[in-house]
């Protein structure tokens, strides 16, 4: 039994799993979260805590022999259950829906794909919010550009980058 299983039918031999909606290359996708290297993402993703994942190096996405890809999560994205720009941890924790994370390379698009994701948390700066720039982000290079321009940072204004947390969440289907 796994936390993502929500219906089992022994007669039909089927198991239905909860998938998570996110984005990759500006398109929606569904992924299956299985386990995480730390209690915090394991709780937020409702998956198994697997401390052995802490042995895997992070912060080296797209480098030679990297075991991870980057997953971009927004802490303080737009809120509002019916807001089409809604995204982020604050919104998800308020019960408005899934956080709508952004995944980097996926199979068929990236030749260096890995199902292990190095979580990079972004936070909109107060200046970006005051200027009305805060919106839903759906693509890795869009996020990196906003970081470069200073509109997104790491949590609390820290340098943007790896949190050191890994989530094992292989993509299941890219939509559109």
Residue 12 lies in a domain: no
Across residues 101-123, what is the average pLDDT? Answer: 88
In the three-class reduction of DSSP (H, G, I as helix; E, B as strand; rest coil), residue 39 is classed as helix
Q: Please give the angle made by the CA atoms of 158, 162 and 165, to the nearest 5 degrees.
A: 120
Q: What is the pLDDT of residue 170?
A: 93
Residue 62 has pLDDT above 70, yes or no: no
Q: Looking at 10-14, 27-31, 79-83, 111-115, which range is the least confident one? A: 111-115
Nearest Cα residue to 62 out of 144, 122, 123: 144
For 2-53, the pLDDT digits (tens) are 778 889 999 999 999 999 999 999 999 999 999 999 999 999 888 999 999 9
Residue 84 lies in a domain: yes
- CA 149 remoteness from chain centre: 22
Q: What is the pLDDT of residue 148?
A: 98
In the three-class reduction of DSSP (H, G, I as helix; E, B as strand; rest coil), residue 171 is classed as strand
Residue 102 lies in a domain: yes
Query: Per the structure, how many domains does the chain have?
Result: 1
Q: How far apart are CA 25 and CA 17, in angstroms?
A: 24
Q: What is the pLDDT of residue 93?
A: 94
Residue 7 lies in a domain: no
Q: What is the pLDDT of residue 107?
A: 81
Residue 4 lies in a domain: no
Those residues whose C-beta lies under 8 Å from the C-beta of residue 130, and which sit 6 or more positions away, are none
Residue 2 lies in a domain: no
Helices (H), the chain: 39-45, 89-93, 126-130, 140-149
What's the alpha-carbon Rg for the chain, to the nearest Å? 16
| pLDDT classification of 106: cutoffs 50, 70, 90 | confident
Q: What is the pLDDT of residue 8?
A: 95
Per the structure, the complete domain to which residue 82 belongs is given by 19-174
Residue 93 lies in a domain: yes
Query: Over pLDDT 90: what percentage of the chain?
Result: 80
Q: How far apart are CA 101 and CA 113, in angstroms?
A: 17
Query: pTM for this one?
Result: 0.92
Residue 13 lies in a domain: no
């Amino acid at each position: 039994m796994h936390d993502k299983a929500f219906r089992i039918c022994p007669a039909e031999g089927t198991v239905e799993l909860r998938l998570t909606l996110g984005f990759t290359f500006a398109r929606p996708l569904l992924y299956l979260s299985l386990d995480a290297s730390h209690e915090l993402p394991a709780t937020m993703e409702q998956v198994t805590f697997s401390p052995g994942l802490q042995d895997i190096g992070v912060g080296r996405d797209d480098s030679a022999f990297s075991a991870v890809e980057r997953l971009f999560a927004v802490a303080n994205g737009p809120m509002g259950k019916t807001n089409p720009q809604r995204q982020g941890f604050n919104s998800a924790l308020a019960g408005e829906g899934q956080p709508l994370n952004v995944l980097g390379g996926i199979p068929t698009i990236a030749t260096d794909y890995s199902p292990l994701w190095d979580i990079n948390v972004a936070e909109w700066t107060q200046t970006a919010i005051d200027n009305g720039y805060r919106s839903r982000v759906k693509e890795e290079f869009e996020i990196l550009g906003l970081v470069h321009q200073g509109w997104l940072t790491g949590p609390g204004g820290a340098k943007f980058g790896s949190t050191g947390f890994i989530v094992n969440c292989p993509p299941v289907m890219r939509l559109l």
